[in-house]
């Protein structure tokens, strides 16, 4: 019975074995008992088999003096306590006994395991042993983490028993590991609590303590401390210097996580240093450690490279002389190579060397990698004017290789170069035209067509070339079709001879009559009308000067966003190049709690940094007037989404609520509506939600960045689809300088309605005392569920009738999680005035579809909203079809549902 | 603010994506996540094998070891670097417990692995991961021996207390009260030299990474001090260092410049920063004291001059000359040169001035082996490769670089030397010290490679 043979337990799959195990568990022989428990645990933990029926039997084994057996039993308990909470109480005795065991290892084991079992009854018993745990350092360090677990399950209990104060005392502990774990636990509680600073302040005194502990701690403990320190806002120059000085030695640690966390603390503190020379000096000290990270395992290299990528955007000089370390080795994994290419920063001095490297890479086998290499050459050309010519000659060499994908990518890149340096390098067009026939990727094709159109007057046979493309017009992708259309028009305007005349007619005919792509059709009509009414102004419009493009690295205006990323160094956020709210599922509980607060003052430190991130995100997204905020958000925050390559967001998997394991709806979170610089110091964020009286209300947060009091707020809405209008005004609210104010603006459906199509957009005008009569405007998107009327219930027959005569329809499929069941959806929606109606003869076979109805207040009159959701649980898909009687609604319904159900 | 958590659950999966073993540290993920990983990443394509993937609300950080995927799952914005260093530690720890991490070894050591997983991480926070420490109280056989003693004896209890003090203490990597008859210290300087050379002989990139490995069999709680021949200049131009930690020795011309140094946790970093001496209380047995990196003045042990000629469509001719650049008194052991050949190679014929060569069809490469390579000597290889003629080979064949594998004992590419090694202990015993040097070629991603491009 040695452990050598444990592997055989993994394969036993015969019937009735569970009953057999039960007998064995009660066997007087200790070894047999142990093996039976072992089997049960393996079955549960690896094979995924349900052995919960053995619960009582296994738990009874817990009262043993064999530590190995005890650990197995505890493992089993963690796994099943959640599903068998009543039985779990049986284990309490064992726990209580073990938590008083003279052996500290067993005491710690009991405390640790109890913390993992989130059954309220057990947790009640946990507090006592926790208080007593403090005698032995090993138990103490376990207990510290356990407080964090306890906070997860019942925050009240933690406050009640004063565990937070305990933790803070433990920061003074003589044992470094206890200190480290207390730091970690405090950080987590701080993150989760609603009023972080009242629970756990990070003041200079605590910071001093942490810095002192740094030297003594284990490597992991150092990471905990450094990560906590990274959110510390030091008071001015000296404070920052002191922190940096103490953290610098950590750069020499063998553990990569310690090094990168230290880099992060330093980078954050650098913001507070005023002397640029000193900053340069410190930045230079970071370089060697960053480079060393590249001689670790491939995964670590990857993380390091993603982070270096951010750091060099802020401090481009830091690795200037080290460009060689980013040169790819032949055997580097492909993800490392791709990141290295992105990180190579070409300068005038090293451009020749760098170009030689890129040329080398473009000979390799991996297509994606080769494309990146070609793109990188283009980037060099665009950012370094002096080198553009050399880059182009390399590209031409590549085109001569005739390797299909290299040629295509080169053409795409050359198009960009033409846009950067108009009318400078058209001598090479002839070479490009030679490879015309080999193009089969849409992007390359449309780039080539763009070039032909743009330089039509210099290409003798431009007409012929375009004609060749036009033959297959109908088979092309929309991207190519649009480009073909525009380029033909350009050609026509530049050379209004007979040849192009036939061409233009041909293309306009095909684009307007033979395709049903609305974009293409509309654009063709616009051109047609322009050309037929006023060819001269058509010239002005079509052949207008275009703004030249610049390199995306040299123009990073998003300094605030970048700053946000630098605060996230070494975390997932720094790898995705997305701020956490975009990929960390938001916790409705927390949001709601935040709403509850009113008149909160501006937080510094922890929560402050979080809100900052929100703001950044919005500042960026406000830049473009894209009607879809989701897409917009992505555009703005993924600094280099395009460069990333895998820009497509993965399908969402929805997760269980951590506490109840139940499905929950995703409500929209508060967003910045009016940024401080647009609002002349007044910043407004908020979200429309359903108020208590079933009417919508605007949950607003007004922040005053000016130096005077602001009051006499007046809000006015433009015509909107839902006839929303403010019910009252906030005339008597006053916001002091540098403070925020939270309030609810109640809304009613008494406004005027917009025209015949539905749109979620709401235009708001704000006036206040400090604006001297000026009015600020912002746009917000009304979450559909906040405006639904209570009288939306429909009989099934009526539903079918309306369904069949609805005029606007939208159908789409999405991936869903296993938690999403018809019942869960109906239950969740009921409180939102979205009602389920089931057919009179409700058959078993039909229960995978849910029919929902609701009523919205406008436009013009009340509108029915009809939804059918079909669950295909075997494949994990969900089909949503929505219908209504007004154009634009179905789409809006779909978007709201997708967000509510899937959080997208 | 990011919480310094590293994961919510750890899965061990086989190559088909089936769970071999799992341990959940936090409540916010479920087993279904493993399914998502299986369908999207193991069976999915086109993800470029990026080791960090975000699927909806979950993030997966994974690495592979033999036929096992170690997958960390989380829903939070965790510290990714911490996560990967932790995963690497887990692999290192398992290796020290049962040599190899594979599906079979995981299943065979099921119980001890769960004990370890319980100990090394709590609530997603890494705890104690050092093998030396864990072995003091989690052993594959401990339970058996305890049971033989009958009831938990007083001695076992005392031991547990001692263990619990030690594993959390300031010097958690060393137990008190060790005794050796003969006090010995072994110190190995092992370097990996990584280089890329163009076909004309220009060095495009060269660097050496080294580790100082130690084996200590010392009594009590000794304090060690080591001196290196590095310049160790303060970048800020601060204090002048007395070279050799107080020896007052004049700085010789042979001093080298280390681009970066990284130390084992036993080294007092603050002391290193302020006094520039490497002082520490070592763990017992074997450990890695420090890692360093050199980018300037790397002396390359070998120079290779390749000439590849394509003769018509069916023949390629290779002329490769290799010269050793280290001292005559030194000697490389086992040198292996790999020359990639086109895919449709039929056969190869060789003319050599030394060693043995053959064509390995499996890897499409010629392998030339030299058992010994004296310093300041030179060998040549002439090979003719015949290709199976193919009708439509559109893309021109691109020659991948030639790679070199070698070990040169008593040589360091960086020029690093140990100046002194002092052992101090209260008892004041004498100790024997052994110092060795070894220079290897880089052989993997971590250590780089020694490659020569052919065109």
pLDDT, residue A4, reads: 47
More reliable by pLDDT, A121 or B52? B52
Q: Could you tell me where the beta strands, DSSP code E, fall in A580-713?
A: 671-674, 682-690, 696-704, 710-711
Position B88 in a domain:
yes
Interchain CB contact of A656 with B (< 8 Å): yes
Q: How many other C-beta atoms can be found within 10 angstroms of the C-beta atom of residue A590?
A: 14
Residues B28 and B126 in one domain: yes
Q: How far is B338 from chain A (nearest CA, A)?
A: 13
Residues A13 and A160 in one domain: yes
What is the spatial distance between Cα A105 and Cα A76, in angstroms, rounded to a whole number? 19
Q: For residue A848, what are its two tokens?
A: 């995978």
pLDDT, residue B345, reads: 87
Residues B355 and B444 in one domain: no
Domain harbouring B365, CATH code: 2.60.40.1170
Residues A203 and A72 in one domain: yes
Position A678 in a domain:
yes
Residues in B touching A330 (Cβ below 8 Å): 400-401, 403, 449, 451
- Of A62, A84, A89, nearest in space to A73 by CA: A62
User: Cβ-count burial of B151 within 10 angstroms (0-12 exposed, 13-18 middle, 19+ buried)?
Assistant: exposed
The average pLDDT across A535-564 equals 73
Residues B286 and B431 in one domain: yes
Residues A110 and A169 in one domain: yes
A130, A146 Cβ separation under 8 angstroms? yes
What is the spatial distance between Cα B25 and Cα A658, in angstroms, rounded to a whole number? 13
Residues A873 and A734 in one domain: no
Domain harbouring A861, CATH code: 3.30.310.10
Position A586 in a domain:
no
Q: What letter does residue A41 receive in the DSSP assignment? A: H
Contacts of residue A883, defined as CB under 8 A and 6 or more positions apart, other chains included, come to: A803, A806, A808, A809, A810, A866, A867, A890
Has residue A811 got a pLDDT over 80?
no
Q: How many other C-beta atoms can be found within 10 angstroms of the C-beta atom of residue A660?
A: 8
Q: For residue A202, what are its two tokens?
A: 């990070």
Residues in A touching B33 (Cβ below 8 Å): 653, 655
**Helix, strand, or coil (residue A817):** coil
Last residue of a domain, one of A521, A536, A552: A552
Has residue A280 got a pLDDT over 70?
yes
A352, A314 Cβ separation under 8 angstroms? no
Q: Which residue of A has its CA nearest to B293?
A: A292
Q: A404-420 and A367-383 are packed helices; what angle lies between their axes, rounded to 10 degrees?
A: 20
- Of B81, B84, B120, B2, nearest in space to A145 by CA: B120
List the pLDDT tens digit at each of the 455 positions of chain B.
556 777 899 999 988 888 888 888 888 887 777 888 888 888 776 556 789 988 877 899 999 998 999 999 998 889 999 999 999 999 999 999 988 999 999 988 888 898 899 889 999 999 988 887 888 788 765 443 344 444 445 666 667 777 777 666 667 778 778 899 999 999 999 999 999 888 888 888 888 999 999 999 999 889 999 988 877 544 333 333 333 333 334 445 567 888 888 888 888 888 888 887 899 999 888 899 998 988 888 899 999 999 998 888 788 899 999 999 999 999 998 899 999 998 888 889 999 999 999 999 898 899 999 999 999 999 999 999 998 876 665 556 778 899 999 999 999 999 898 988 999 988 888 899 999 999 999 877 677 789 998 87
Q: For residue A466, what are its two tokens?
A: 């375009």
Residues A781 and A810 in one domain: no
Interface of A with B in 540-599 (CB under 8 A): 568, 570-576, 580, 583-585
Position A302 in a domain:
no
Phi–psi pair at A701, nearest 5 degrees: -130, 115
Q: What letter does residue B169 receive in the DSSP assignment? A: S
Position B113 in a domain:
yes
The average pLDDT across A550-557 equals 53
pLDDT, residue B114, reads: 87
Has residue A90 got a pLDDT over 60?
yes
Residue that is written with structure tokens 């056969």 in the block: B347
Position A17 in a domain:
yes
Q: What letter does residue B184 receive in the DSSP assignment? A: E
- Mean pLDDT, chain A, rounded, equals 78
Q: How far is A188 from chain B (nearest CA, A)?
A: 6
Residues in B touching A403 (Cβ below 8 Å): 395
Is the bond preceding A859 in cis, omega lying within 30 degrees of 0? yes
Phi–psi pair at A5, nearest 5 degrees: -95, 10
Residues B437 and B290 in one domain: yes
Q: How many other C-beta atoms can be found within 10 angstroms of the C-beta atom of residue A769?
A: 15
pLDDT tens digits, residue range A397-444?
999 888 888 999 999 999 999 988 888 888 888 888 888 888 888 999
Residues in B touching A576 (Cβ below 8 Å): 52, 54
Residues A781 and A845 in one domain: no
Position B162 in a domain:
no
Residues B288 and B334 in one domain: no
Residues A764 and A813 in one domain: no
CB contact under 8 A, B449 and A329: yes
Interchain CB contact of B27 with A (< 8 Å): yes
pLDDT, residue A643, reads: 35
> What is the DSSP secondary-structure string of A362-386?
TTSS-HHHHHHHHHHHHHHHHH-GG
Question: Widest CA span of chain A, in angstroms?
Answer: 103
Query: Which candidate from B48, B161, B264 shows the least CB-CB separation from A254?
Result: B264
Interchain CB contact of B397 with A (< 8 Å): no
Write out the H or E segment, with its range, that includes residue B270.
helix B269-275
A57, A22 Cβ separation under 8 angstroms? yes
A822, A871 Cβ separation under 8 angstroms? yes
A556-570, A704-718, A845-859, B346-360: least confidently modelled range:
A845-859
Which region holds residue B250: left if phi is over 0, alpha if psi is between -120 and 50, else beta?
beta
Contacts of residue A898, defined as CB under 8 A and 6 or more positions apart, other chains included, come to: A812, A814, A880, A904
More reliable by pLDDT, A883 or A251? A251
What is the Cα gyration radius of chain B? 26
Total domain count for chain B? 3
pLDDT, residue A375, reads: 92
Q: For residue B156, what are its two tokens?
A: 């076992």
Residues A714 and A863 in one domain: no
Position B282 in a domain:
yes
Position B44 in a domain:
yes
Residues B446 and B403 in one domain: no
What is the spatial distance between Cα B81 and Cα A222, in angstroms, rounded to a whole number? 13
CB contact under 8 A, A655 and B108: no
Sign of CA dihedral B112, B115, B119, B122: positive
Residue that is written with structure tokens 């094998």 in the block: B49
pLDDT, residue A590, reads: 42
Position B157 in a domain:
no
Residues A707 and A827 in one domain: no
- Of A664, A727, A627, A580, nearest in space to A902 by CA: A664
Position A319 in a domain:
no
Q: A120-132 and A137-153 are packed helices; what angle lies between their axes, rounded to 10 degrees?
A: 150
Sign of CA dihedral B84, B85, B86, B91: positive
CB contact under 8 A, B172 and A177: yes
User: Cβ-count burial of B69 within 10 angstroms (0-12 exposed, 13-18 middle, 19+ buried)?
Assistant: buried
Write out the H or E segment, with its range, that includes residue A141.
helix A137-153
Residues B322 and B244 in one domain: no
Residues in B touching A72 (Cβ below 8 Å): 111, 114
B389, B346 Cβ separation under 8 angstroms? no
Query: Which candidate from A103, A152, A288 shows the least CB-CB separation from B259?
Result: A288
pLDDT tens digits, residue range A20-67?
777 777 777 777 777 777 777 776 666 667 777 788 888 887 777 777
Has residue A570 got a pLDDT over 60?
yes
Residues B290 and B416 in one domain: yes
Residues A764 and A897 in one domain: no
Pairing of strands B448-452, B184-197: parallel
Last residue of a domain, one of A552, A586, A616: A552
Residues B237 and B352 in one domain: no
Residues A501 and A545 in one domain: yes
pLDDT, residue A600, reads: 35
Size of interface A-B (CB pairs under 8 A): 372
Phi–psi pair at B407, nearest 5 degrees: -135, 130
Residues in B touching A191 (Cβ below 8 Å): 1, 3
Total domain count for chain A? 4
CB contact under 8 A, A48 and B447: no
Interchain CB contact of A691 with B (< 8 Å): no
Last residue of a domain, one of B140, B171, B204: B140
Q: What letter does residue B440 receive in the DSSP assignment? A: E
Residues A843 and A739 in one domain: no
Interchain CB contact of B33 with A (< 8 Å): yes
Which range marks the domain in which residue A474 is found?
464-552
Position A195 in a domain:
yes
Residues B293 and B310 in one domain: no
Has residue A657 got a pLDDT over 50?
no
For residue A133, what pLDDT band results from cuts at 50, 70 and 90?
low
pLDDT, residue B268, reads: 84
What is the spatial distance between Cα A690 and Cα A667, in angstroms, rounded to a whole number? 11
Last residue of a domain, one of A505, A526, A552: A552
- Termini Cα distance of chain A: 52
Pairing of strands A734-735, B365-374: unpaired
Asked if the interface predicted TM-score (ipTM) of this complex is over 0.90, the answer is: no
What is the spatial distance between Cα A91 and Cα B312, in angstroms, rounded to a whole number? 80
Q: In the 3-class helix/strand/coil scheme, how is B355-367 assigned residue by residue?
A: CEEEEECCCCEEE
Contacts of residue B99, defined as CB under 8 A and 6 or more positions apart, other chains included, come to: B105
For chain B, count helices (H), then strands (E): 8, 25
Interface test with A, best of B35, B61, B68, B122 (most A CBs within 10 A): B122
Residues B328 and B291 in one domain: no
Residues B127 and B36 in one domain: yes
Position B52 in a domain:
yes
Domain harbouring A708, CATH code: 2.60.40.1150
Which range marks the domain in which residue B39 is found?
9-140
Query: Which candidate from B61, B118, B263 shows the least CB-CB separation from A252?
Result: B263
Interchain CB contact of B183 with A (< 8 Å): no
Interchain CB contact of A759 with B (< 8 Å): no
What is the Cα gyration radius of chain A? 32
pLDDT tens digits, residue range A176-224?
788 889 888 888 888 777 655 544 567 788 888 888 888 878 889 899 9
């Amino acid at each position: 019975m040695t452990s050598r043979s444990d592997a055989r337990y993994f394969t036993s799959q015969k019937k009735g074995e569970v009953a057999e195990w039960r007998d064995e568990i009660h066997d007087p022989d200790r070894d047999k008992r142990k093996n039976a428990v072992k089997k049960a645990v393996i079955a549960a933990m690896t094979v995924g088999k349900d052995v919960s029926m053995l619960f009582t039997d296994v738990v009874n084994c817990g009262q043993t003096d064999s530590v190995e057996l005890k650990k197995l039993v505890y493992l089993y308990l963690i796994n099943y306590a959640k599903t068998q909470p009543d039985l779990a109480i049986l284990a309490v005795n064992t726990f209580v006994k073990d938590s008083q065991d003279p052996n500290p290892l067993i005491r710690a084991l009991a405390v640790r395991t109890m913390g993992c079992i989130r059954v309220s009854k057990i947790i009640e018993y946990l507090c006592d042993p926790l208080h007593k745990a403090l005698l032995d350092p090993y138990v103490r360090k376990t207990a510290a983490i356990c407080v964090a677990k306890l906070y997860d399950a019942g925050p009240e209990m933690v406050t009640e028993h004063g565990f937070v104060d305990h933790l803070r005392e433990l920061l003074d502990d003589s044992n470094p590991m206890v200190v480290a774990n207390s730091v970690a636990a405090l950080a987590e509680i701080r993150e989760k609590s609603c009023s972080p600073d009242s629970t756990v302040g990070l003041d200079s005194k605590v910071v001093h303590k942490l810095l002192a502990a740094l030297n003594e701690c284990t490597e992991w403990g150092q990471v905990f401390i450094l990560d906590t320190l990274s959110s510390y806002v030091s008071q001015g120059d000296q404070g920052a210097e002191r922190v940096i000085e103490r953290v610098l030695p950590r750069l020499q640690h063998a553990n990569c996580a310690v090094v990168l966390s230290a880099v992060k603390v330093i980078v954050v503190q650098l913001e507070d240093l005023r002397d640029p020379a000193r900053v340069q000096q410190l930045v230079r000290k970071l370089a060697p450690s960053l480079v060393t990270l590249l001689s670790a395992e491939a995964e670590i290299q990857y993380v390091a490279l993603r982070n270096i990528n951010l750091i060099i955007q802020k401090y481009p000089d830091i690795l200037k002389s080290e460009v060689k370390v980013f040169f790819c080795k032949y055997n580097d994994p492909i993800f490392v190579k791709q990141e290295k290419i992105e990180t190579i920063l070409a300068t005038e001095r090293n451009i020749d060397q760098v170009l030689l490297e890129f040329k080398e890479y473009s000979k390799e086998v991996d297509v994606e990698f080769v494309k990146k290499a070609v793109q990188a050459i283009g980037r060099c050309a665009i950012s370094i004017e002096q080198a553009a010519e050399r880059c182009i000659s390399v590209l031409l060499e590549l085109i001569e290789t005739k390797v299909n994908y290299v040629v295509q990518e080169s053409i795409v890149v050359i198009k960009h170069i033409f846009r950067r340096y108009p009318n400078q390098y058209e001598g090479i067009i002839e070479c490009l035209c030679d490879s015309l026939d080999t193009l089969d990727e849409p992007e390359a094709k449309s780039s080539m067509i763009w070039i032909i159109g743009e330089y039509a007057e210099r290409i003798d046979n431009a007409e012929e070339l375009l004609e060749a493309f036009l033959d297959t017009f109908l088979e092309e992708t929309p991207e190519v079709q649009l480009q073909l259309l525009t380029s033909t028009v350009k050609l026509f305007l530049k050379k209004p001879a007979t040849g192009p005349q036939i061409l233009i007619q041909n293309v306009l005919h095909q684009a307007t009559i033979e395709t049903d792509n609305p974009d293409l059709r509309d654009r063709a009509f616009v051109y047609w009308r322009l050309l037929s009414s006023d060819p001269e102004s058509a010239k002005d419009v079509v052949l207008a000067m275009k703004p030249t493009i610049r390199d995306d690295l040299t123009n990073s205006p998003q300094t605030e966003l970048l700053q946000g990323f630098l605060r996230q160094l070494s975390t997932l956020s720094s790898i995705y190049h997305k701020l956490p709210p975009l990929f960390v599922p938001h916790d409705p509980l927390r949001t709601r709690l935040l709403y509850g607060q009113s008149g909160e003052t501006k937080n510094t430190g922890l929560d402050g940094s979080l809100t900052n991130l929100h703001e950044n995100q919005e500042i960026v997204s406000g830049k473009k007037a894209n009607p879809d905020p989701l897409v917009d958000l992505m555009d703005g925050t993924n600094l280099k989404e395009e460069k990333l390559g895998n820009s497509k967001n993965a399908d969402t998997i929805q997760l269980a609520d951590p506490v109840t394991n139940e499905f929950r709806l995703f409500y929209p979170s508060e967003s910045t509506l009016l940024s401080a610089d647009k609002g002349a110091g007044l910043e407004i964020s908020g979200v429309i939600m359903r108020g208590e009286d079933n009417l919508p209300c605007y949950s607003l947060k007004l922040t005053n960045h000016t130096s005077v009091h602001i009051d006499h707020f007046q809000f006015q809405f433009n015509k909107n689809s839902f006839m929303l209008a403010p019910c009252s005004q906030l005339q008597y609210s006053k916001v002091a300088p540098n403070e925020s104010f939270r309030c609810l603006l109640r809304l009613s459906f008494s406004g005027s309605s917009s025209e015949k199509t539905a749109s979620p957009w709401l235009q708001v005008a704000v006036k206040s005392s400090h604006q001297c009569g000026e009015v600020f405007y912002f746009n917000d998107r009304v979450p559909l569920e906040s405006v639904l009327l209570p009288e939306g219930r429909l009989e099934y027959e009526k539903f079918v009738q309306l369904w069949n005569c609805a005029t606007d329809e939208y159908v789409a499929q999405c991936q869903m999680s296993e938690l999403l069941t018809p019942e869960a959806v109906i239950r969740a929606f009921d409180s939102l005035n979205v009602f389920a109606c089931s057919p009179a003869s409700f058959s078993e076979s039909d229960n995978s579809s849910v029919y929902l109805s609701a009523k919205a207040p406008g436009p013009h009159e009340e509108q029915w909203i009809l939804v059918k959701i079909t669950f295909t649980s075997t494949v994990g898909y969900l089909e949503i079809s929505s219908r209504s009687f007004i154009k634009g609604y179905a789409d809006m319904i779909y978007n709201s549902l997708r967000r509510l159900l899937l959080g997208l | 603010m990011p919480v310094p958590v590293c994961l919510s659950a750890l899965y061990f999966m086989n190559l088909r994506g089936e769970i071999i073993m799992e341990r959940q540290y936090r409540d916010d993920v479920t087993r279904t996540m493993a399914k998502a990983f299986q369908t999207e990443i193991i069976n999915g394509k086109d993800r470029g094998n990026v080791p960090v993937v975000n699927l909806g609300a979950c993030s997966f950080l994974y690495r592979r070891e033999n036929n096992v995927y170690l997958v960390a799952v989380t829903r939070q914005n965790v510290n990714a670097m911490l996560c990967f260093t932790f995963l690497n530690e887990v692999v290192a720890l398992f290796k020290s417990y049962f040599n190899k991490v594979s599906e079979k070894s995981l299943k065979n050591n099921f119980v001890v692995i769960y004990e370890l997983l319980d100990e090394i991480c709590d609530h997603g926070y890494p705890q104690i991961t050092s093998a030396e420490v864990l072995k003091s109280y989690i052993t594959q056989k401990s339970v058996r021996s305890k049971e033989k003693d009958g009831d938990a004896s007083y001695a076992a209890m005392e031991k547990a207390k001692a263990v619990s003090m030690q594993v959390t203490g300031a010097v958690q990597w060393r137990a008190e009260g060790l005794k050796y008859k003969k006090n010995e210290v072994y110190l190995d300087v092992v370097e990996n030299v990584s280089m890329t050379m163009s076909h004309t002989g220009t060095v495009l990139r060269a660097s050496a990474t080294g580790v100082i490995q130690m084996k200590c069999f010392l009594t009590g709680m000794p304090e060690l001090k080591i001196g290196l021949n590095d310049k160790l200049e303060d970048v800020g131009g601060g204090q002048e260092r007395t070279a050799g930690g107080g020896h007052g020795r004049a700085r010789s011309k042979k001093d080298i410049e280390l681009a970066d140094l990284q130390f084992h946790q036993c080294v007092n970093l603050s002391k290193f920063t302020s006094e520039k001496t490497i002082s520490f209380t070592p763990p017992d047995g074997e450990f890695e004291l420090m890692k360093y990196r050199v980018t300037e003045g790397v002396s390359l042990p070998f120079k290779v001059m390749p000439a590849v000629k394509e003769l018509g469509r069916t023949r390629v001719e290779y002329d490769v000359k290799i010269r050793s650049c280290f001292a005559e008194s030194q000697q490389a052991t086992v040198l292996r040169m790999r020359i990639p050949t086109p895919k449709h190679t039929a056969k190869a014929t060789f003319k050599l001035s030394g060693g043995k060569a053959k064509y390995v069809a499996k890897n499409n490469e010629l392998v030339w082996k030299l058992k010994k390579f004296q310093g300041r000597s030179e060998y040549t290889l002439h090979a003719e490769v015949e290709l199976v003629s193919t009708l439509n080979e559109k893309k021109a064949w691109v020659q991948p670089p030639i790679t070199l594998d070698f070990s040169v004992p008593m040589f360091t590419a960086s020029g690093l030397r140990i100046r002194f090694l002092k052992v101090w202990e209260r008892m004041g015993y004498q100790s024997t010290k052994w110092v060795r040097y070894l220079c290897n070629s880089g052989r993997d991603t971590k250590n780089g490679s020694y490659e020569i491009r052919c065109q």
